[in-house]
């Protein structure tokens, strides 16, 4: 971005922040697996997938600058509407929103952003009403593998009957202590690498970074490892 403005600044900020949000749990999962908590990592893996989903909701939309603005400033607008927010914080939110509007280059998208700010109702999630939920975003834009793993991970996150212990070697062992799960740990780390790579490729394609061959080489390595793990 310092050498060439190759993408709208708001969209770039979404990518930049979301990448940190994806890499952080990715790195944490290795520590969890080493310490016997592989079965807890699905919560973090789902967060990684949701970082990708947020970016997809932005770049796949007809109005990506507008969607990037919504992602970045949704909570500022909520703060301005909240009677419990101090005037000092409201003023700070107004200034941040003004800065965000100035970064939108398309006039039509500026109008959409201004209309979003003035709406009577602010939805709970930033991507509404364009998309109903993260699952809907992944179902529309994610691949078959991503849709499948997100459904499995949702059972863990929501503590369903096949919840966190689904990722233990013995899912019927209801135990609150850490445990060795070498096979499941390999699957967790493989999935984490795979979907972090897919996140990188969203950036690669959207920003025209030119890492297609590197992406494919790394994907082939992961798929080869997957074949060995699933044996």
User: Model confidence at 229, in pLDDT bands (50, 70, 90)?
Assistant: low
Rounded Cα–Cα distance for residues 125 and 163 (Å): 25
Tokens of 224: 């080869």
Contact 130, 140 (CB under 8 A): no
| Average confidence (pLDDT) over 206-225 | 92
pLDDT attached to residue 46: 92
Mean pLDDT of the chain: 90
pLDDT at residue number 20: 96
Residue 201, phi-psi category: left (phi > 0), alpha (psi -120 to 50), beta (remainder): alpha
Query: pTM for the whole thing?
Result: 0.88
pLDDT in tens, 93-116: 999 999 999 999 999 999 999 999
- CA-to-CA distance for 203 and 103, rounded, in angstroms? 19
- Give the dihedral sign, CA 106/107/108/114: positive
Which pLDDT score, from 0 to 100, does residue 225 have? 80
Give the whole-angstrom CA distance, residue 116 versus residue 121: 9
**Each residue's pLDDT tens digit, 126-167:** 999 999 999 999 999 988 888 888 888 888 777 776 667 777
**Per-residue pLDDT at 117 exceeds 90:** yes
Residue ranges in 124-173 assigned as alpha helix (H)? 134-141, 144-157
Can you give the pLDDT at residue 161?
65
pLDDT of residue 6: 86
Highest averaged pLDDT of the listed ranges 35-39, 201-205, 219-223: 201-205
Would you call 30 exposed, middle or buried from its count of C-beta atoms within 10 A (0-12, 13-18, 19+)?
Answer: middle
pLDDT 10s digits, 41-96 = 888 999 999 999 999 999 999 999 999 999 999 999 999 888 899 999 999 999 99
């Amino acid at each position: 971005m310092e050498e060439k403005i190759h993408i709208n600044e708001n969209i770039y900020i979404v990518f930049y922040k979301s990448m940190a949000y994806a890499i952080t749990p990715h790195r944490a999962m290795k520590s969890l697996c080493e310490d016997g908590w592989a079965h807890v990592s699905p919560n973090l893996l789902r967060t990684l997938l949701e970082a990708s989903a947020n970016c997809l909701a932005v770049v796949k939309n007809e109005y990506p600058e507008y969607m990037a603005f919504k992602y970045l400033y949704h909570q500022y607008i909520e703060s301005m509407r909240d009677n419990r927010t101090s005037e000092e914080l409201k003023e700070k939110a107004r200034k941040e929103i003004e800065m965000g509007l100035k970064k939108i280059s398309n006039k039509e998208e500026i109008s959409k952003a201004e209309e979003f700010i003035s709406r009577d109702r602010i939805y709970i999630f930033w991507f509404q009403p364009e998309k109903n939920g993260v699952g809907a975003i992944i179902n529309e834009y994610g691949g078959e593998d991503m849709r499948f793993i997100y459904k499995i991970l949702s059972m863990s996150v929501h503590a369903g009957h096949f919840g966190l212990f689904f990722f233990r070697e013995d899912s019927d062992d209801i135990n609150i202590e850490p445990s060795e799960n070498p096979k499941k740990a390999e699957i967790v780390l493989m999935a984490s690498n795979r979907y972090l790579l897919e996140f990188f490729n969203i950036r690669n394609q959207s920003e025209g970074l030119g890492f297609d061959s590197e992406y494919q080489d790394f994907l082939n390595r992961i798929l080869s490892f997957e074949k060995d793990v699933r044996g």
